[in-house]
Amino acid sequence: MRIDGSGTPRAHCVLCPNPGPMTLEGTNTWILREPDASGAVVIDPGPHDERHLERVARSVQEQDAQVLMAAVTHRHPDHTDGSAYFSELTGAPVHAVDPEMRVGGAGLVDGETLGVDGLEVQVIATPGHTDDSVCFLLEADNALLTGDTILGRGTTVIDGDDGLGSYMESLYRLKGLIDEYGVQTLLPGHGPILDTPKQTIQYYIDHRENRLAQVRDAVEAGAAQIDEVVDRVYPEITEQLRFAARASVRAQLRYLLLLGELPEHVET
């Protein structure tokens, strides 16, 4: 499995050396450039790892190009903490949905097209993993940059009590978008490239529906506290990842509450 250096004709991955349970092999920083163009866009500069950020900038320079714009898929520090240093290195503004994540850049609006030296990337709002999550459609390569909305391996965490409803809507939107634009490749924020987008999105939808069923069963069996549900739904979870399981269970319980399917005595 090769991640670093992978991509499509217009997308090139530079892998940050920050592996971990939540980042998999590390953060995928994506350099986007029209073939032979002198301007480039960087998606998700990554954490504040100066060697990584300098490597990204140098990689663009070695292509006789210049970073003219950067953007982030969402606010998490493994995607954004290096933005200020990267902007300082390259002079490029960093665009983001969250105003606090911008560095001399503007907001990202659903449906807008970012254009740099012939390259066009469409912003697709996909809240759920976080409320500011976006994907980027690289139509010329039939590719979709998914940030943490879709990972190269495993499934993502819902960061927020009310995020599951939005996340399910985002998954169904991506499912339709794959058909509409003929997307053939998913370029995730962590993990390897995926060349089965339809199957991957359906797996994510099925996984969430199955988890919801398990949470319903746990509550019906008497679980009334979040940790009790975690113990039933994730019996083999490690302590290192328990916080992620708790976040997912809480989001699922809140979703069931909104649907009117949760008894009042259950902790949310």
Residues marked as catalytic: 78
- C-beta neighbour count of 175 within 10 angstroms: 17
Torsion of CA 120, 126, 130, 133, to 10 degrees: 10
- Which run of H or of E encompasses 71? strand 66-71
Coil, helix or strand at residue 165 = helix
- Which run of H or of E encompasses 256? helix 242-258
Torsion of CA 199, 201, 207, 210, to 10 degrees: -90
Residue carrying the six token digits 């807008």: 112
Would you tell me the crossing angle of helices 242-258 and 226-233 to the nearest 10 degrees?
110
Q: Sign (positive/negative) of CA torsion 80, 81, 86, 92?
A: positive
Structure tokens at 98: 């969250």
